[in-house]
Amino acid sequence: MRRLFVCAYLANLAVDLGSLAALPDRVAIHFGPRGMPDNWASKETNAALMVGLHTLLFALLSLTPRLIAVVPVGWVNLPHKEYWLRKDRRPDTLARIAAHFWTLGAALFGFMLWVGVLVVLANRSQPVCLDLPWFLGGLGAFLAYTAWWCVRFYRAFRLPPGEDATVP
């Protein structure tokens, strides 16, 4: 799943940088409730903002398991953390957390790629208008996936039958 996460991130960067050649000098960067633009910027500013946002999100999702490894257990919000973050389980737990974050990151970057392409298409149309049904469909799919991911994450860190979270 890590490869898909990295590939989805790189695909977003390709759209961000490719938009420099495909878009006019002034582009819509935000759209109102009817899909009409309500904020504009230069295509260079748009590309820089999107590359920065995508890179920040990539770093956060990639580095979270490493951060969990070095912060006190009390700072970590994980179901049954006393059990899962014990020293004997910590390496396996961090690998599981990383795998879950890669799947979430792949979905997030997939959604952002969807939106990025819709924004490029909107800026190339006359008049400039975001295709709201396609946007809302992608948003709905991403939100449904996120809810499913949260349930899976929580269930992945249930206390195994017969185990006590406080026994070292």
- For residues 30 and 84, what is the distance between their CA atoms, to the nearest angstrom? 42
pLDDT over threshold 80, residue 49: yes
Average pLDDT over residues 79-97: 92
pLDDT digits (tens, 9 = 90+) for 1-22: 899 999 999 999 999 999 999 9
**pLDDT value of position 162:** 77
pTM of the model: 0.91
Portion of the chain with pLDDT greater than 70, in percent: 97
Chain CA centroid to CA 108, Å:
3
DSSP string, the chain: -HHHHHHHHHHHHHHHHHHHHHS-SEEEEEE-TTS-EEEEEEHHHHHHHHHHHHHHHHHHHHHHHHHHHHS-GGG---TTHHHHTSTTTHHHHHHHHHHHHHHHHHHHHHHHHHHHHHHHHHHHSSS----HHHHHHHHHHHHHHHHHHHHHHHHHTSPPTT--TT--
